[in-house]
Amino acid sequence: MEWNKLIEILKGHTVYIQTHNFPDPDAMASALGLQVFLRHHGVESTICYDGKIEKLSAKRMIEVFNIDIRNIADIPNMTQKDYIVTVDSQKYNANITDFIGEEVACIDHHPTIIPCEYLYKDIRMVGACATLIAQYFKESQTPMDVNTATALMYGLRIDTNSFSRGVTKLDIEIFEYLYDFVDAEKLSKMDNSTMELKDLQAYGAAIEDIRIFDNLGFAEIPFDCPDALIAMVSDFILNLDVVEFSVVYANREDGLKFSVRSELNTLDAGQIIAEALQDIGTGGGHPSMAGGFIPVDHVEKLGYLYNHEIERRFVAACREKGKSEFK
Ligand SMILES: [Mn+2]
């Protein structure tokens, strides 16, 4: 990580920090952190995104941490000469719109799907993008403020599911670093109202529908709901003692939207969903968390018993991957 090289590249340019579409807490914390970091080093920037901020926790972050994040619709004057730094995402990914500005830098913690040449690239597999951003402050001895530290800690906690998912030594080191600056009351404020009524309805529908085969749990949410909520329900199903791999999908007008979770090293969620949805849709992601989609015309081809076909495909893919674990 060469933080001074990043500053050199961006200096004198109009700079945008772009999150993936439908930003989540880690993306928002990372964007805020990078903006504050750059400002300390004389680079002003604007945080932007496409899509919607759907998740309650992300919406509340804007108020609690005073984040100035702008929808692309409100940035009519971006030009080809402007510089973009993507955080928590990479150019060409399906979850990020290619804006007119030039993507010169990328800071992310996801595996690269389609490689892209940047002037500056910092892609490392850690628990949260917030960890990488916090490390910029630490290494460069840039002053850390309470608000930024608390937001970064929140992003780190959410992406690692409270330090239980994808945690690396660097995440722990950054936890210790941020700990001294964090406003505990602000953090618990974020913890104490995390659910809206429609969230509860999605949980309710998934609980009604849950189907379990050995250590695999399946549930359909029979109505449209945001990606982030499907992911939360998938985490929730994984909490069941007998479930070690969860597959939750929401039925949308344009198709089925999936969120998959795995707590077994032998069952790589990203690989399994890619294989299970092969020919009928798309899927991919991390070993412990992944997503996917089957477009509606393919769902129709699966017939009214599409649930059985989905189960069959995931069971087959899990058997194939996790030969030793899965009976
Ligand atoms: Mn992230």
Q: State the burial class of residue 251 (Cβ atoms within 10 Å of its Cβ: 0-12, 13-18, 19+).
A: middle
CA-nearest of 16, 35, 14, 7 to 81 is 14
Q: Which residues of the chain have pLDDT under 50?
A: 324, 326-327
- Compute the distance from residue 269 Cα to the ligand 1 centre, in Å: 16
Compute the distance between CA of residue 67 and CA of residue 155 in angstroms, rounded to an integer: 13
At residue 281's C-alpha, the angle toward residues 48 and 50, to 5°, is 10
Contact 132, 1 (CB under 8 A): yes
- Compute the distance from residue 129 Cα to the ligand 1 centre, in Å: 5
- Compute the distance from residue 48 Cα to the ligand 1 centre, in Å: 16
pLDDT of residue 322: 65
Please give the class, per CATH, of domain 3-191. Answer: alpha beta
Q: State the burial class of residue 74 (Cβ atoms within 10 Å of its Cβ: 0-12, 13-18, 19+).
A: exposed
- The 10s digit of each residue's pLDDT in 67-110 is 999 999 999 999 999 999 999 999 988 889 999 999 999 999 99
Amino acid at 324: S
- Compute the distance from residue 185 Cα to the ligand 1 centre, in Å: 23
Amino acid at 264: L
- Compute the distance from residue 127 Cα to the ligand 1 centre, in Å: 7
- Compute the distance from residue 27 Cα to the ligand 1 centre, in Å: 6
Q: Helix (H, G, I), strand (E, B), or coil: what is residue 113?
A: coil
- Compute the distance from residue 131 Cα to the ligand 1 centre, in Å: 9
pLDDT of residue 295: 97
Q: Which residues contact 186 (CB under 8 A, 6 or more apart)?
A: 64, 65, 147, 150
- Compute the distance from residue 241 Cα to the ligand 1 centre, in Å: 26
Helix (H) or strand (E) holding 299: helix 296-302
- Residue ranges per structural domain of the chain: 3-191, 199-321
pTM of the model: 0.71
- Compute the distance from residue 57 Cα to the ligand 1 centre, in Å: 14
- Compute the distance from residue 16 Cα to the ligand 1 centre, in Å: 18
- Compute the distance from residue 303 Cα to the ligand 1 centre, in Å: 36
Q: Helix (H, G, I), strand (E, B), or coil: what is residue 258?
A: strand
pLDDT of residue 255: 96
Contact 156, 174 (CB under 8 A): yes
- Compute the distance from residue 161 Cα to the ligand 1 centre, in Å: 11
Question: Which residue is associated with the tokens 């993936």?
Answer: 20
State how far Cα 130 lies from the chain centre.
11
- Compute the distance from residue 128 Cα to the ligand 1 centre, in Å: 5
DSSP 131-168: HHHHHHHHHHTPPPPHHHHHHHHHHHHHHTTTTTSS--
Helix (H) or strand (E) holding 217: strand 216-221
Two structure tokens written together for 76: 């009519």
Buried b (16+ CB within 10 A) or exposed e, 282-314: ebbbbbbbbbbbbeeebbeebeeebbeebbebb
- Compute the distance from residue 166 Cα to the ligand 1 centre, in Å: 11
- Compute the distance from residue 88 Cα to the ligand 1 centre, in Å: 5
- Compute the distance from residue 304 Cα to the ligand 1 centre, in Å: 36
pLDDT of residue 324: 47
Contact 322, 266 (CB under 8 A): yes
Compute the distance between CA of residue 275 and CA of residue 270 in angstroms, rounded to an integer: 9
- Compute the distance from residue 26 Cα to the ligand 1 centre, in Å: 5
Please give the class, per CATH, of domain 199-321. Answer: alpha beta
Compute the distance between CA of residue 129 and CA of residue 124 in angstroms, rounded to an integer: 9
- The 10s digit of each residue's pLDDT in 198-245 is 899 999 999 999 999 999 999 999 999 888 889 999 999 999 999 999
Buried b (16+ CB within 10 A) or exposed e, 139-148: eeebebeebb
